[in-house]
Amino acid sequence: MTDVFISYARSTQNLAERVGEELRALGYQVWRDDELPAHRSYTEVIEERLRAAKAVVVIWSAEAVKSQWVRAEANVAREAGTLVQVRVDETTPPLPFNEIQCVDLAGWSGEATAPGWRKVADSVAALAGGKAAAAVPPPAAGGGRGVGAAAARKLSVCVLPFENMSGDPEQEYFSDGISEDIITDLSKVSALEVTARNTAFTFKGKAVRVPDVARELGVSHVLEGSVRKAGARVRISAQLIDGATGNHVWADRYDRDLTDIFALQDEISEAIVSALRVKLAPAEKSAIERRGTASPDAYEVYLMGRQTWLRGESSARSLEAILRLARRATEIDPDYAQAWALMAFAQATLRLRHDRKDLDGLPAAERAMALDPQLAEPHAVKARILAEDGRTEEAEAEVQTALALDPESVEVNEAAAYQRYRQRRFADAIPYYERAAAAPEAPIGLSGMLMSCYAALGDKAGQARTARMSLERAQAALAKDPNDTDAIGFGACAYSVLGDADSARAWARRAMLIDPDNRMTRYNLACALGADIGDHDGALDLLGPYFATATAAELAHIRVDPDLDALRTEPRYIAMLAEADARVGGGAA
């Protein structure tokens, strides 16, 4: 009987051998494809061992993502509930595997005490009988509490997104903000492993069973709760649950004035730590209580602006609303680094996309960096500004700094991806776009950029997969707002990739009827008609008004966008681009 099956690509064979050795040392029966018998069918043996395994460790790498074998094996494990994922480079597991926790084993050389390896061992133990958990030394006396089967493991927590109970969907920015802050607070406790925000938020809006969440993520505990905000009052209910038994470890309800919101968050985080019997170092307690702002008013205004930014709304009107909210937050608290970073994003985007020459995001970004050197997002926006000025090496340095500070940030990964896209390094851009697009609140435009990258590489499977993702997100957005032209535009693009030209044209007509002046929707529809349907005249008709107002930054994008390659020899395209270049003082195509 096989306990553990290891799936990998040839480039990671050495790591697969180390993983196998460590698991065998813990008493498991481990199988890799180097043990194929000479007298039996290759595929027959693999399928037999794969389906018999209690745990399947999939090692994701750049090569593995492209391997049909690895993907197929991972899919069998996912469906069977036996999947344990690790990655060894910057590669993000492809959909749907990126919705499941993936342990980072980059640089691991076989140390049994390494945090990443401990997480792998715990996951295998949960699936294959607890041998690894029993083999891990218990914490030092006084350092932990025996809580079910997790007692011998390092405590780990997933904070599920708190439910918005305010009766107003627009209040979700507040409940999401509370959830994120509790995740951030608990992440500062060295004795806890905390599920990343992007992974935890994949469960948002879903009816889930806590034991299922705990098993899927390999965590010992799950925190869930709700937020009800009404006027100047807020009520928060929270409960910490043992993932193995489903029993409540701690629960409480708080009813406070909004002015007490930060003290309330501190209270909840410290109550969780106390319930788990974790010793909180003085420096960790201070870190939990240290926030970006001490003003509840600035905090709420910032959360409103950030929610709009995360939707990916690109109109000048939406960006100006974000800018007003960010400015208001910094007026209330001039030392609020996150609000300065949000202001920088809005200013830079208005300048680059809407030709607002009176705005410059760089001072706001640098202000944010000065206030909080550990904040990643201002480095991401600075990278975009530097890249547009042709300072590519400096821009890449900012991207690397941002990635080191927060490798999970949507904005940071988007900046890293776009830097590579603009250099037509589409294969290098894909892992970053995949990671950014995997975030539950990721703008729909990121899946559009992924479609473009896969199309440029001739990867039909990747293109179709991301088209389906775009269409699903477009339909979800339209269920909330039937007049969301950004969603309609990307839905049309998805239909064109999937070969449904009639639906693509119907959605394009609908978008233009609702908002014919939406420049970005015009551009995206033109890419779909030109690249996927072959309707060059229709594409050029859509591009005419776009070229007439395109900024220098947008013209730079046009020159590298592979979706327009099919139009580049068209006389109308050449003439429109030349006129636009002359207007902005740009260069040749």
Number of H helices, E strands in the chain: 27, 11
Pick from 56-70, 86-100, 329-343: least confident: 86-100
163 and 95 inside one domain: no
Digit-coded pLDDT (tens) for 513-558: 998 888 888 888 888 887 778 889 888 999 999 999 888 888 989 9
172 and 246 inside one domain: yes
Pick from 225-229, 306-310, 372-376: least confident: 306-310
pLDDT tops 60 at residue 454: yes
123 and 18 inside one domain: yes
If pLDDT is split at 50, 70 and 90, which confidence band does 147 have?
very low
| Residue-level pLDDT at 132 | 42
Burial (CB count <10 Å: 0-12, 13-18, 19+), residue 455: buried
Half-sphere exposure of 532 (CA within 13 A, CB side): 28
128 and 156 inside one domain: no
62 and 85 inside one domain: yes
What is the CA 197 to chain-centroid distance, rounded? 9
13 and 40 inside one domain: yes
* Structure tokens, 376: 């990643």
Task: Report the domain count for the chain.
Answer: 3
pLDDT tops 70 at residue 154: no
Highest mean pLDDT of the ranges 102-106, 215-219, 468-472: 468-472
74 and 199 inside one domain: no
If pLDDT is split at 50, 70 and 90, which confidence band does 140 have?
very low
Which residue is it, tokens 């209040």? 171
Q: What is the CATH number of the domain that holds 47?
A: 3.40.50.10140
Share of the chain above pLDDT 70, in %: 90
In a domain, 330, yes or no: no
In a domain, 146, yes or no: no
In a domain, 238, yes or no: yes
Q: Residue type at 50?
A: L
Q: Select from 237, 203, 238 the least CA-distant residue to 217.
A: 203
Q: What is the CATH number of the domain that holds 266?
A: 3.40.50.10610
In a domain, 465, yes or no: no
* Exposed e or buried b per residue across 173-185, where buried means at least 16 C-beta atoms within 10 angstroms of its C-beta: bbbbbbbbbbbbb
In a domain, 355, yes or no: no
Please identify, among 137, 168, 203, the residue that sits at the C-terminal boundary of a domain. Answer: 137
- Pick the more confident residue, 254 or 340: 340
Residue 456 to residues 460, 466, 532, Cα–Cα distance (Å): 10, 13, 12
- Pick the more confident residue, 531 or 234: 234
pLDDT tops 80 at residue 289: no
Q: What is the CATH number of the domain that holds 567?
A: 1.25.40
187 and 108 inside one domain: no
Q: Select from 86, 236, 230, 247 the least CA-distant residue to 166.
A: 230
* Structure tokens, 513: 């009827």
190 and 63 inside one domain: no
User: At 580, phi and psi to the nearest 5?
Assistant: -65, -40
| Residue-level pLDDT at 385 | 93
pLDDT tops 60 at residue 146: no
* Cβ neighbours for 543, distance < 8 A, ≥ 6 positions apart: 522, 523, 526, 567, 573, 576
Q: Select from 503, 571, 577 the least CA-distant residue to 537.
A: 571
Pick from 118-122, 145-149, 324-328, 366-370: least confident: 145-149
pLDDT tops 90 at residue 72: no
Residue 281 to residues 142, 147, 287, 288, 463, Cα–Cα distance (Å): 14, 21, 10, 11, 49
If pLDDT is split at 50, 70 and 90, which confidence band does 381 have?
very high
Which secondary structure element, helix H or strand E, spans residue 245, and what is its range?
none
Q: Select from 567, 272, 560 the least CA-distant residue to 392.
A: 560
How far is it, in rounded angstroms, from Cα 193 to Cα 377?
23
Can you give the length of the chain in residues? 589
In a domain, 191, yes or no: yes
Residue 458 to residues 71, 170, 416, 463, 464, Cα–Cα distance (Å): 19, 40, 22, 8, 11
Q: Where are the beta strands (DSSP E) in 90-232?
A: 102-104, 156-159, 163-164, 193-194, 221-230
| Residue-level pLDDT at 425 | 92
Digit-coded pLDDT (tens) for 180-219: 888 888 887 877 888 887 788 888 888 888 888 888 888 8
In a domain, 315, yes or no: no
pLDDT tops 90 at residue 574: yes
| Residue-level pLDDT at 1 | 55
Work out whether the CA dihedral 44, 47, 53, 59 comes out positive or negative.
Answer: positive
Which secondary structure element, helix H or strand E, spans residue 257, and what is its range?
strand 248-257
Please identify, among 137, 160, 192, the residue that sits at the C-terminal boundary of a domain. Answer: 137
Q: Which domain holds residue 194?
A: 151-291
How far is it, in rounded angstroms, from Cα 586 to Cα 464?
35
Digit-coded pLDDT (tens) for 405-443: 888 888 999 999 999 999 999 999 999 998 888 877 778
If pLDDT is split at 50, 70 and 90, which confidence band does 130 have?
low
In a domain, 103, yes or no: yes
How far is it, in rounded angstroms, from Cα 51 to Cα 59?
18
128 and 177 inside one domain: no
| Residue-level pLDDT at 586 | 55
In the DSSP assignment, the letter for residue 457 is: T
Q: Is 357 within 8 Å of 377 (Cβ atoms)?
A: no
87 and 170 inside one domain: no
Please identify, among 87, 112, 137, the residue that sits at the C-terminal boundary of a domain. Answer: 137
How far is it, in rounded angstroms, from Cα 442 to Cα 437?
5
23 and 127 inside one domain: yes
- Please provide the distance, in angstroms rounded to a whole number, between the alpha carbons at the two ends of the chain: 62
Which residue is it, tokens 């947008």? 554
